[in-house]
Amino acid sequence: MDMPVPSSYNDLMQTPTDRDFVGWAWYERRFRPPIACHARRARLHFASVHYYAIVWLDGLEIATHEGGHLPFEADISSILFQAKGRELRLTVAANNTLTPNTIPPGRIIYMNDTSQYPPGYFVQEVDFDFFNYAGIDRPVSIICSSQVYVEDILVTTNFSASVGFVFYNISIAGGTVTSIFVGLRDPKGRHVAGDAVLPDHICLPSFHSTLSPHGLIKVPNVSLWWPVGMNTTPGLLYTLEVLVCGFDGEKDVVRLQFGIRTVRVVGSRLLLNDHEIYLHGLGRHEDADLRGRGYDAVTMAKDASLLSWLGANAFRTSHYPYAEQTLDMADRQGILVISEAPAVGLVTVDNFGKRSLEQHMTTLRELINRDRNHPSVIMWSLANEPASNLQVAESYFRQVIAEAHRLDGTRPVTVVLNKGVSVDRVAQYLDVVSVNAYFGWYHDSGHPELIGRQLGHMLSAWYTKHHHPVILMEYGAGSVAGLHSLPSVMFSEEYHLEVMRQHFPVFDEKRKDFLVGEMLWNLVDFNTPQGVKRMAGNRKGLFTRNRQPKMAAFLLRDRYVRLNNASAHPLIPWCLGN
């Protein structure tokens, strides 16, 4: 059948067998390569294939990759050169099977009782609460460049008074370099430092730059990158222009947008540009209706509009990396992002073995390499709700956390925890302690009157033990849009409001001392595996899956607008009666 790319194939077919398919799905298409790429270096780039991928071009295997949500590519220069413009056949096999050693993990369970199941019958079990969408879920592209090309750029920033500092490190591949030009433009597009942009003839041998592939650019009268709600212009971006000249006179030009800002943890505070920052936002799922987890520009823009309407200044990419276009939009709009690795469901000893650790490390390197230049990314989240009480988890996460700090020493690191403070073995190694807790929902269901006491005790216990900043990364309740009850009952919109209201006074008390963020779960309702605990998916969203508001959306908007308006007076109280 015809299959749009990008998309997840699960919701595009009409039978449960297709929707819940586990195994190899085969994609194939024919295309003529761009004429401009015939004599140049060409790479076939996949932004994401879930979960395993094998790629062939004209029957020749050119790439394999394990792990969804993150990019990979293959050099196809020689194939395109030999093809000389003829039609080529691209084949991709994608497999969504999850095992105890994948990230995220899962299990294949064979039902061997032939009196109840047909021979060979099996099911895929997972320990995460969202649907295992699969396929080529992000764009596929051919990237053409000269033989000498810019392979990677790393930018780190700092500032002192009105002067900004841009440290750059440029990786170049493919051949002999004769000249490198590096220039910087401010948010209005004006040249401010480095080499001025020159005409194309600068790649002639008579022109040489004094700049090296690594260095420092000083920016006078710097405009810092700020998020929304800070009484300044959010999302101001500089542009680093890099031009590399090869021996044959060819050139590769790359322009990277980034923001100048710093992130630090000092004592119990999270500092952005040396100012205390309080995260008030939401968890999300990149769940775009019929595209499943497939990248969709319309849905991305709609969700960004919802975040703006709510007054949120942050979101978390739960529970996997989102499309890079989403981070680009967050950069421009000034939304802070907690970028999360797809390590969700690590709940058994089998999930902490050597093979799992290797794949976790590989995924972490791919994530940080992709997202590290985004100013919106304020923190790395390395996992969600692991079995942090297990002895094996301590050694496992000590290594993962150390690797994250090695890869990027400019951002704090967290793991989202849900085990009790008395049994947890991981928080001691974190920069920020992140906790999920559903008082009044999973804990003492139907009793929101207990939330204030229980929440306050839990938050204080985490800080007292570790003296790190604390974020309540998930809290909330489920509600079915249009279901009302007085007195309130679970799943009614009134109960959703009541649970949220009970949290707000505790937040305002604890943020005086150590709480640096409140992240409601979730922005929109989303699809999950079928089960008796879920009625057509997870209903904890402020909005339905087609992005229409529940009553809870208006309550959270009221709170977040108050927080933004009180940014200069962070201790403004929340009044339950208003």
Region of 120 please: left (phi>0), alpha (psi -120 to 50) or beta: left
Domain membership of residue 189 (yes or no) is yes
pLDDT, tens digit, 9 for 90 and up, residues 15-24: 999 999 999 9
What's the domain range around 71? 10-96+132-144
The number of domains in the chain is 3
Q: What band does 261 get if pLDDT is binned at 50, 70 and 90?
A: very high
Catalytic-role residue among 324, 340, 385, 518: 385
Is 550 or 578 the better-scoring residue by pLDDT?
Answer: 550
Confidence category of residue 573, pLDDT binned at 50, 70, 90: very low
| Residue-wise DSSP of 340-364 | E-S-B---SGGGGSHHHHHHHHHHH
Residues 294 and 232 placed together within one structural domain of the fold: no
Give me the CATH number covering residue 70. Answer: 2.60.120.260
Mean of pLDDT over the chain: 92
Which pair of structure tokens corresponds to residue 411?
A: 């951002």
The reply to whether 309 and 230 lie within a common domain is no
What does the pLDDT look like over 199-250, one tens digit per residue?
555 676 555 555 578 899 999 999 999 999 988 999 999 999 999 888 777 8
**pTM of the prediction?**
0.94
Query: Omega of the bond prior to 469 within 30 degrees of 0, cis?
Result: no
Same domain, 150 and 137: no
pLDDT at site 35: 81
Is the confidence at residue 282, as pLDDT, over 50? yes
CA 537, 542, 545, 546: dihedral to nearest 10 degrees? 160
| 77 residue type, one letter | S
CB distance 554 to 313 below 8 Å: no
Kindly state whether residue 415 falls inside one of the protein's structural domains.
Answer: yes
Same domain? 309 vs 392: yes
DSSP at 471: E
| Any domain includes 70 | yes
Which tokens hold the place of 75?
Answer: 């050099």
* Cβ neighbours for 315, distance < 8 A, ≥ 6 positions apart: 281, 282, 283, 284, 307, 330, 335, 336, 337, 338, 519, 523
Residue 477 near residue 500, CB atoms below 8 Å: yes
Q: Is residue 102 part of a domain?
A: no
Are the C-beta atoms of 382 and 415 separated by less than 8 Å? yes
Domain endpoint, select from 229, 258, 287: 258
Spatial CA neighbour of 263 closest among 274, 248, 279:
274
The residue among 141, 135, 139 whose CA lies nearest residue 292 is: 135
Question: Angle at Cα 146 formed by Cα 90 and Cα 61, nearest 5°?
Answer: 25
135: pLDDT confidence band, cut at 50, 70 and 90?
very high
Q: Which pLDDT score, from 0 to 100, does residue 178 have?
A: 83
118 Cβ contact partners less than 8 Å away, ≥ 6 residues apart: none
More confident residue, 343 or 33: 343
* Percent of the residues in the chain that have a pLDDT greater than 70, as a whole number: 95
Say whether both 252 and 296 belong to one domain: no
- Residue 479's nearest CA partner among 490, 467, 469, 465 is 490
Which CATH number does the domain housing residue 170 bear? Answer: 2.60.40.10
118 within domain boundaries: no
Note whether 357 and 464 are same-domain residues: yes
Are residue 544 and residue 448 in the same domain, yes or no?
yes
Co-location of 140 and 164 in the same domain: no
Residue 276 bears catalytic tag: no
In the sheet that holds 238-246, the strands lie side by side as 191-194, 177-185, 238-246, 251-258
pLDDT tens track for 175-212: 788 888 899 999 999 999 887 755 555 676 555 555 57
Of residues 146 and 403, more confidently modeled: 403
- Answer yes or no: do 50 and 81 share one domain: yes
Please tell me the chain's helix, strand, coil percentages from 3-state DSSP, rounded to the nearest 5: 25, 30, 45
Is residue 204 situated within a structural domain?
yes
Res. 569 pLDDT band, cuts 50 70 90: very low
Residues 6+ apart with CB under 8 A from 305: none
Phi-psi region of 536 (alpha: psi -120 to 50; beta: other; left: phi over 0): left
Q: Are residues 153 and 140 in the same domain?
A: no
Q: pLDDT digit string (tens) for 399-410?
A: 999 999 999 999
User: Which of 530, 379, 502 minimizes the C-alpha distance to 437?
Assistant: 502
Q: 194-211 burial, b for 16+ CB within 10 Å, e for fewer? A: bbeeeeeebbeeeeebeb
| pLDDT at residue number 288 | 65
- Say if residue 357's pLDDT is above 50: yes
CB 513, CB 578: distance < 8 Å: no
Residue 417's Cβ-side half-sphere holds a number of Cα atoms within 13 Å equal to 30
CA distance 380 to 532: 33
Give a yes or no: residue 302 inside a domain: yes
Determine how β-strand 60-66 pairs with β-strand 52-57. antiparallel
- What is the CATH number for 462? 3.20.20.80
Residue 3 confidence (pLDDT): 94
Using CA atoms, how far apart are residues 503 and 440, in angstroms rounded to an integer?
10
Q: Residue 41 forms beta bridges with which residues?
A: 145
Most confident of 115-124, 141-150, 421-430: 421-430
Strand order in the sheet with 269-272: 263-266, 269-272, 275-276
> Does the residue 478 lie in any domain?
yes
| Domain identity same for 477 and 551 | yes
